[in-house]
Amino acid sequence: MGGAASSKVAVLANQDATSGRGLKSILTAELDGFLVPDFFWASYEKQMRGGHSYTRLARLTGARVVTHTITDHPEGFVVHDHLNHGALAYFSHEESHTKHSRDNDTWKSYKYDGPSLTDDVLDHVTVVQVHRSPFRVEAYVEQSGRWLAGELIQHNMQKLLANICDMNQKSPESLQCRPHAPSPSGSGKESVVSEPLDAHFTAQELWKGLIKSLRDGLKVPMEASRRVYKNWFDDGFTEEIFTTEESTIYKKAVAYADERRLVLIDYGLQPEMEIPVIKTTWRVYDNPVVLEGWCSPQTVRHSDDDVRAAVQRAVDTAIAEYESHTNGN
């Protein structure tokens, strides 16, 4: 977010959001006397149009912006940067595409991993808000969840099917699973889909095997010391994994028997199990009998020190520019 000057106003991470609801944001101290809102927005737009900037130390390693272009549109503008990350990153290259738009006192920057600027390549959204009375800046980042249907889910499905076969004393010659396959549901989304399993299971047998394998048959992860199942109920169970680092991972499984669909919800280290971090779904179909799987990480809101540092640079730069402007320089 542009260059930095000396800091005259504190910018604090992980503060209670002004919207409430238990959310956290970056919040500045009051800016009245240092800056005015409209000048901040003018400065912020100039900084965003400047695109990516490297620190002086990074530039010494050869890091540089190879190309920088801006495309204007009625709602805002898009910045396209071709980056060379320098010697410390083995001169790796990255294409950066960021769409910016402002609606009154809210600015949103959408960072994409590809030039299509579509939801499937959206990495995160940075939201910056101005509050005018008193004048403060609030910001946060929403990291987008990505629909996963690749090699990791394929590997997990193959292990899961192998375990179901072992538990049922079946020995198929192969357990092929296709990543990035069209979903059998006809939703148009991709998932991992097994080869037809009619020769080994009915749909109901595979469903029961799936439940039993996930609840009873999987080994405790290497990094965990023990696993405890709690709160058994008709359509699922909760799970706690106690790790060797003396922390506890909380999970829940919910079964939808009428659809033969099982959703595994990972809450990370949250004992209250309120905000899902990632969801993995397994579903059994018949005609033919196949197992489908995919993973859907949830959108995560960030207001940590990395975001704080970016806001600090943006505010410091705006204040320095405002002082120069009011002093007639």
What pLDDT shows up at residue 3? 43
- Structure tokens belonging to residue 298: 């949830």
Q: Return the H-helix or E-strand segment holding 297.
A: strand 290-297
Q: Tell me: domain 151-298, CATH 3.30.530, correct?
A: yes
What pLDDT shows up at residue 133? 94
pTM: 0.62
Q: What's the pLDDT tens digit per position in 45-99?
A: 999 999 888 777 777 788 888 899 999 999 999 999 988 887 766 667 788 899 9
Residue 217 pLDDT greater than 90, yes or no: no
d(CA 141, CA 311): 11
> Which sequence spans correspond to the domains of the chain?
11-143+301-324, 151-298
d(CA 194, CA 291): 5
CB 224 within 8 A of CB 243: yes
What pLDDT shows up at residue 231? 55
- Work out the pLDDT band at 234, boundaries 50, 70, 90: low
d(CA 109, CA 129): 12
Q: Report angle CA 34, 37, 38 to the nearest 5 degrees.
A: 120
Angle between helical axes of 305-326 and 37-49 (0-180°, round to 10): 110
Distances (CA, A) of 196 to 18, 61, 150, 211, 292: 53, 53, 19, 19, 11
Distances (CA, A) of 166 to 59, 186, 293: 56, 31, 20
Q: Are strands 190-194 and 177-182 parallel, antiparallel or unpaired?
A: antiparallel
What pLDDT shows up at residue 245? 55
3-state secondary structure of 50: coil
Q: What's the pLDDT tens digit per position in 11-47?
A: 999 999 998 777 899 999 999 999 999 999 999 999 9
d(CA 32, CA 52): 29
Q: Return the H-helix or E-strand segment holding 14.
A: strand 11-16
Higher-scoring residue by pLDDT: 10, 267: 10
Residue 127 pLDDT greater than 60, yes or no: yes
Amino acid occupying residue 33: G
Higher-scoring residue by pLDDT: 22, 288: 288
Scanning 50-105, the segments in alpha helix (DSSP H) are 56-60
Percent of the chain with pLDDT over 90: 47
Residue 219 pLDDT greater than 70, yes or no: no
What pLDDT shows up at residue 184? 95
Eight-state DSSP code of residue 23: -
Q: What's the pLDDT tens digit per position in 167-179?
A: 888 887 778 999 9
CATH class given for the domain over 11-143+301-324: alpha beta
Residue spans of beta strands (DSSP E) within 50-121: 64-73, 76-84, 93-103, 106-112
- Structure tokens belonging to residue 201: 């299971």
- Give mean pLDDT, residues 203-220: 79
